[in-house]
Structure 1
Amino acid sequence: MPASLLAPGAVLVLWTLVMLGWVLVSRFSALAKTGIDLKAAPPGGRGANLEGILPPIANWKSHNYTHLLEQPTLFYAVLIFLHLSGGSTDLTRGLAWAYVVLRIAHSLWQATVNRIPVRLALFTLSSLCLIALSLLAVIATLG
């Protein structure tokens, strides 16, 4: 396990960009199969407009990409608080890596199988890691 508490954050940023690439490939492939001409689409369209038009599995990657831009923003802030306040310990690094591994597993599950009980379990476990990291950040910043 790398010694830097910031490493898990960097890995999750990279994973988010991998998911963005998967979204693009999945959506453009699905659009090509439906025969939709993007040049003929009215201005101001959004990805959400493709719900019900593209197959659900093509949209699942986009849903996950959106999720990676929501809760993980708190994760990045918590890592910075811990890093700057000297809160980098074996425990915080372990929790941070657990969060990243769980979020990647969540992404892979949501993008391919998307059965809610497993997805919810992965989300809950990652959220518990984030809660623990947040509490440790408060302790570290209060000194």
Structure 2
Amino acid sequence: MPSTTAILWPMIAQTGLIFAIYFLMMRRRFGAVRAGTAKARDYVIPTIEPEPSATVARSLINQFELPVLFYVVCILLHVTSGATYLAQAIAWLFVVSRVAHALVHVTSNRLMLRQRLFSAGFILVFILWVLLAIHIA
């Protein structure tokens, strides 16, 4: 795999996680309607949503917060030829932290564990931005 495009693979993996969460949310919402714990119209403006699908919906929202900074820094590292092996490894660690965060969010939803996983991802993205700043300085 050429190092010039290797930084794109963690971005593709992160996007795959988003699609997986979308599918899980659809499955849980359809399941709630079938089980009678929600009505289809409850999802027009989902202010009240059954917990199993609400946690997935919130997890999905999380995938469009911190990961946006991840996508931008990866693209910038690629464009500026700063996607070193270190940057690639950190990018993969970020994706692992997001997968773990999402798994906790949609299963046990243990807040302290989720917070630690979020913090790990936050630090990893911060490091990527520092690497970019050093590279372009």
TM-score by length of 2: 0.90
Provide the residue aligned with 1:101 in structure 2.
96
Correspondences of 1:106-117 after superposition (within 5 Å): 106-117=101-112
Q: Relative to structure 1, is the Cα distance of residues 33 and 13 closer, same or farther in structure 2, using a 3 angstrom cutoff?
A: same
Q: Relative to structure 1, is the Cα distance of residues 119 and 105 closer, same or farther in structure 2, using a 3 angstrom cutoff?
A: same
State the distance in 2 between where 1:122 and 1:27 align. 26
Is contact 1:81–1:141 with CA below 8 Å preserved after alignment? no
Is contact 1:82–1:141 with CA below 8 Å preserved after alignment? no
Asked if 1:46 corresponds to 2:40, the answer is no
AA aligned opposite 1:50: I
Q: Relative to structure 1, is the Cα distance of residues 36 and 115 closer, same or farther in structure 2, using a 3 angstrom cutoff?
A: closer
Q: Relative to structure 1, is the Cα distance of residues 118 and 135 closer, same or farther in structure 2, using a 3 angstrom cutoff?
A: same
Is contact 2:32–2:38 with CA below 8 Å preserved after alignment? no
Provide the residue aligned with 1:10 in structure 2.
12
Structure 1 residue runs without a partner (length 5+): none
Runs of 4+ aligned residues of structure 1 deviating over 4 Å after TM superposition are none
Structure 2 residue runs without a partner (length 5+): none
State the distance in 2 between where 1:2 and 1:11 align. 17
Q: Relative to structure 1, is the Cα distance of residues 70 and 33 closer, same or farther in structure 2, using a 3 angstrom cutoff?
A: same
State the distance in 1 between where 2:117 and 2:86 align. 20
AA aligned opposite 2:59: N
Q: Relative to structure 1, is the Cα distance of residues 17 and 2 closer, same or farther in structure 2, using a 3 angstrom cutoff?
A: farther
Indicate the RMSD between aligned Cα atoms, in angstroms. 1.9
Could you tell me how far 1:36 is from its partner in structure 2?
A: 4.2
Provide the residue aligned with 1:125 in structure 2.
120
Q: Relative to structure 1, is the Cα distance of residues 36 and 117 closer, same or farther in structure 2, using a 3 angstrom cutoff?
A: closer
Structure 1 residue matching 2:81: 3-state secondary structure: coil
Could you tell me how far 1:59 is from its partner in structure 2?
A: 1.2
Q: Relative to structure 1, is the Cα distance of residues 37 and 116 closer, same or farther in structure 2, using a 3 angstrom cutoff?
A: closer
Could you tell me how far 1:15 is from its partner in structure 2?
A: 1.0
